[in-house]
Structure formats: structure tokens, C-alpha cells
């Protein structure tokens, strides 16, 4: 099995989230549809699947998403990620 491909924007998103004050663990190597990163912010945990512009979920990612009962988002940019963290923390 070959290593899972990392989207080109992942490193900049991870760095931006950390600079924003979130804790981030890269989990892209888990495979089996598991999201690319886990993010903690203001006591809430998020699963983020990172996609390049135009990227689509694989069948394994769709299955994982559909079975997950927690916070799960597909993001394409640091701006999207920060918007989600800000929107969720206002509730």
C-alpha cells in the first residue's frame, strides 16, 4: 500500500491553525477514510478533511464521514477552517 497523498495546501493550513491558537494533529497517514487533521479549539474537537480546489472525497472518506457522529468538515483553505472555528465557538 502506497502512502496517502497529502494535499498541497495541508502544511499551510496546519501552520495557520496553529498560529490562530488551535492545536493540530496530522492524521492523514491513518487512511481508511480518516480525516487529514484533528483540531482542538476552545474545548471543542474537529475532524477536518483537507482538499485542494476541486478535490472530491474518496469512497472511503464518504463512508467515514457518513458514519461519524461528531464535528466533521471538508476544507480547502485556512480561511474556511478559521471561519468554522469562529462560527462553532459562538454557539
Q: What per-residue string of b and e applies to 30-52 under the rule 16 or more CB within 10 Å gives b?
A: eeebbbbbbbebeeeebbbbbbe
Is 1 part of a structural domain of the chain? no
Band of the pLDDT at 91, cuts 50, 70, 90? low
Give the domain extent around 14. 10-90
Question: Mind listing the pLDDT tens digit for each residue in 4-28?
Answer: 678 789 999 999 999 999 999 999 9
Question: Mind listing the pLDDT tens digit for each residue in 24-40?
Answer: 999 999 999 999 999 99
Cell of 90: 459562538
pTM attached to this predicted model: 0.90
Query: Residue 63: which CATH number?
Result: 3.40.1350.10
Domain count, the chain: 1
Closest CA to 43 of 25, 59, 22, 26: 22
**C-alpha R_g of the chain:** 13
Is 3 part of a structural domain of the chain? no
CA distances to 2, 7, 16, 19, 47 from 70, in Å = 29, 23, 23, 24, 8
Amino acid at each position: 500500500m502506497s502512502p496517502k497523498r497529502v494535499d498541497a495546501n495541508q502544511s499551510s493550513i496546519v501552520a495557520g491553525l496553529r498560529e490562530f491558537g488551535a492545536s493540530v494533529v496530522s492524521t492523514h497517514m491513518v487512511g481508511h477514510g480518516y480525516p487529514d487533521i484533528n483540531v482542538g479549539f476552545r474545548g471543542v474537537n474537529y475532524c477536518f478533511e483537507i482538499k485542494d480546489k476541486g478535490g472530491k472525497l474518496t469512497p472511503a472518506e464518504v463512508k467515514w464521514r457518513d458514519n461519524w457522529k461528531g464535528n466533521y468538515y471538508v476544507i480547502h483553505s485556512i480561511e474556511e477552517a478559521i471561519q468554522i472555528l469562529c462560527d462553532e465557538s459562538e454557539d
